[in-house]
Each structure stands twice: as C-alpha cells, then as structure tokens.
Amino acid sequence: MDQFIQQLINGLSWGAIYALIALGYTMVYGVLRLINFAHGDVYMVGAMMAYYIAHWLGFAVAPSAGGFVIVMALSMTVCALLGALIELVAYRRLRSQPRSSMLITAIGVSMLLEFGGQRVFGPDPKFFPQLIESHSLFRAGSVVMTNIDALVIVVSLALMIGLRWIVMKTRVGMALRAVSFSYDTAALMGIDVNRVLTFTFMLGSALAAAAGTMVGLRNPKIDPLMGLMPGVKAFVAAVLGGIGNFPGAVVGGLLMGLTETFVSAYLSSTYRDAVAFVILIGVLLVKPTGLFGRVTVEKV
C-alpha cells in the first residue's frame, strides 16, 4: 500500500508537468486548429532560460525560494515573447493558406529551436542549478514526499487556476473563447483576432516555460533535445483529454504521468511508452473526440 501511494505521488508530480505543456497545445488548437509542434521546444527554451537567468542573477550559488520565483517569472516572460514571435513570424501569414502549410511550418520551427538550440546553448547536457534544496517534506511509513514534488503540484495547480480565471473572467479571455468558438464571427464582432492569437501563444508558452523550469529543478539535467519526448507525450495527453478542451488537457496530462509511473513500476519501463500510446488509441476508438471533447458537426 505504501508503495502504491508513493507511486501515486511520483505519477502526479510527473503528470503535472505534462498537464502544463498539454494546456499550451490545447489552447493553440482551440483558436487556430493548429498542432503547434514547436511547443515542446518552447518548454526546452524555458528550462534553458531559467538556467542562464539563475546563473546571471547569482541564484545558482545562493539558492532561495524567492530566487526560484524570480527565475521562473523571468523565464516565463522570455518564452511568452518567444511564443508571440513564433506566431508573428511563422504562422500569421499562413493563416489563410491550407492548414497543412502551417503544420509543416510548425515542424520547421520545432527543428529550428532544437538544432539552433544545440548551436546556441551547446549540445551537452547541463546541470540545472538547485534553486531550492530538495528535502523530504513528510514521511508516513515508507512514503516520502519531497518539497520539490509538492512544489511542482502546487505551482501547477496555481497556474491552472490562474489560467482558468483569465479565460473565464477577463475580457481578453472572453475574446479568446469567442475566437475559439468561431473565428470569422469573432472578427465580425470587432474582436482583434491578431491580438487574441498573440495572447494565446504568450499564455501557452509561459506555461511551457514554467514546466521547463520545474523539470530542471526536479530532474536537474537539461539539454537542447529535452523537449522532444515530453512534447509528443503532452500532445498525446491533450488529444486524450479532447484537444481544445482545458480540463481535458489537465486530466490527460495527469493520466499520462500516472500511466507511465505505474507501467514502469508494475510492468516494465520497456512497455512504458507503448502502453501510453495503446491507451490513446483505445480512447480514440471508443470516443474519437477524446475524454472531454465535444462532438462537432461539420457542415458541408
């Protein structure tokens, strides 16, 4: 039983990271019907930025909780700007073109960030500075929860609640929902679609940066290709939950983290990825729109 609870904690804190990345996929898909393949790499840039900022500001040698908050906030800001830039340069002019053009461009942007990252950051793995020293927060029997695991879960929850508030309660959030409901109608109602899209990319990229920073803290080895697998997994999580659906992305991400952990624990790590994808296929066979997806009627 102890072991089961321990695995549950492991899986939740790992899944929270996927959930944060999955939200970015879902948001962009919601407004643009685009699978932004570069999103996993924005997560990588987030981790790299946090690494450099922590070193520049000296938090790498003098760790503190305040330092972590500052580093994460700055990394989120940089990535928000990067997200806006990607939207402006790579996607904006392709919006009226066939959707596959934008998809292929997304793959291009992804590769640019990965291999450009190897050039700029260097291809070797880096040790992420320990901004908060990890120690066990509580022990119950043999179950241990570290302060980092708790931090990841709490910060992710806070960010998700913040996102929900922005989307449901603010004017720009309302505009975002309107654009995701109907792009053309929203434009006719006088909503500045360009601004809404920029905002969406900024929000999603900031969440990815937060995930990158926390992964650096939790598993302190970062490299320019680190976004590859988590990007794919988070995309699967978003599809699992029903792409375009916010709570779906969160549930999908947590499910993904838990599945990986339990498969590694009770079967074998060899089957970890295979089982994750089998579950995806299974869900899509039964419910093609994902767990929380709405059925949309295509009019001819």
Residues that bind other proteins (CB under 8 A): 2-3, 6-7, 10-11, 14, 118, 122-125, 127, 130, 134, 136, 139, 142, 144, 146, 148, 215, 219-221, 223, 226, 229, 260-262, 264-266, 268-270
Nearest approach in angstroms of CB 43 to other proteins is: 13
Taking the least distance from each CB to other proteins, the nearer of 101 and 118 is 118
Taking the least distance from each CB to other proteins, the nearer of 177 and 272 is 272
Nearest approach in angstroms of CB 107 to other proteins is: 20
Taking the least distance from each CB to other proteins, the nearer of 165 and 271 is 271
Residue-by-residue DSSP string for 160-225: HHHHHHHHHHSHHHHHHHHHHH-HHHHHHTT--HHHHHHHHHHHHHHHHHHHHHHHHHHS-EE-TT
Using CA atoms, how far apart are residues 6 and 299, in angstroms rounded to an integer?
49
* C-beta of residue 203 within 8 angstroms of C-beta of residue 163: yes
Coil, helix or strand at residue 59: coil
Using CA atoms, how far apart are residues 179 and 245, in angstroms rounded to an integer?
14
Nearest approach in angstroms of CB 80 to other proteins is: 25
Strands 126-127 vs 143-146: parallel, antiparallel or unpaired: unpaired
- Across the strands, what pairs with 146? 136
Taking the least distance from each CB to other proteins, the nearer of 146 and 289 is 146
Work out the number of other CB atoms within 10 angstroms of the CB of residue 163.
Answer: 20
Nearest approach in angstroms of CB 58 to other proteins is: 18
Taking the least distance from each CB to other proteins, the nearer of 141 and 162 is 141
Nearest approach in angstroms of CB 158 to other proteins is: 22
Taking the least distance from each CB to other proteins, the nearer of 111 and 161 is 111
Nearest approach in angstroms of CB 19 to other proteins is: 15
| First CA to last CA distance, the chain | 55
